[in-house]
Amino acid sequence: MGGLSIWHWVIVLVVVVIIFGTGKLRNAGSDLGKAVKGFKDGVKGDEDKPVAGTTQPPVPPQQVADKGTIDVETREKSRF
């Protein structure tokens, strides 16, 4: 039971292209690239937080256009 040679991988690649087609594989590759880019942007977004010692004015809450929404204030539970 040896390892897979290059010819095994070529056959697997040909079968995958025949089954899925190049269009689906291209779309899957671009979707994967967008997901990785979004993840990197999300990780970089954490670096944009203000450094301790710098003060920024608090942002007032935005008004909600839907009057059916209830705005509540959250508080932490005290643990005894």
Cβ–Cβ < 8 Å for 56, 50: yes
pLDDT for residue 52: 60
Residues 6+ apart with CB under 8 A from 25: 16, 17
pLDDT in tens, 47-65: 555 556 566 666 666 665 5
What pLDDT shows up at residue 10? Answer: 92
Q: Classify 47 as helix, strand or coil.
A: helix
At 8, list the tokens. 């095994």
Question: What pLDDT, on the 0 to 100 scale, is given for residue 11?
Answer: 92
Higher pLDDT: 68 or 52? It is 68
- Cβ within 8 Å of residue 50, ≥6 positions away: 56
Summarised one tens digit per residue, pLDDT across range 1-58 is 467 889 999 999 899 888 888 888 888 888 889 999 988 888 887 555 555 656 666 6
Residue 49: what pLDDT?
A: 58
Among all chains, which residue has been given the structure tokens 């899925």? 20
